[in-house]
Amino acid sequence: RKEVEQDPGPFNVPEGATVAFNCTYSNSASQSFFWYRQDCRKEPKLLMSVYSSGNEDGRFTAQLNRASQYISLLIRDSKLSDSATYLCVVNGARGGGYNKLIFGAGTRLAVHP
């Protein structure tokens, strides 16, 4: 089983739609969670961290369910510029170690006019 699993998509949605991505992780000791965005042929960049209480950044909302080991990302009012691959990232270190960032394979989003 992969440490971080995501639906690869693609998700094809019209502008203005709301779309949600899900991610599950296997290491119950993980303490840090993130969503990264990767544009075609570019490097990944941090979109937002995911906090236990859930957090929002403009049109983006991230949620964490530790009991189910599940992370979600909601994008409201999709824009053409949101088209990219969204990577779920988990600190996969065991034994309390800090920084072994494990990436999911990514979910591709295509927003069309």
For binding to other proteins (CB under 8 A), which residues are involved? 32, 34, 42-46, 49, 87, 91, 93, 97-106
Q: Which is nearer to other proteins, 44 or 76 (CB)?
A: 44
* Contact call for residues 92 and 33 (beta carbons, < 8 A): no
Identity of the residue, 32 or 69, whose beta carbon is nearer to other proteins in the bound complex: 32
**What is 70-100 written as a DSSP string?**
EEEEEE-S--GGG-EEEEEEEE--STT-S--
Cβ 61 to other proteins, closest distance in Å? 19
- Residue 8, token pair as written in the block: 């690869």
Q: How far is the CB of 45 from other proteins (least distance, A)?
A: 7
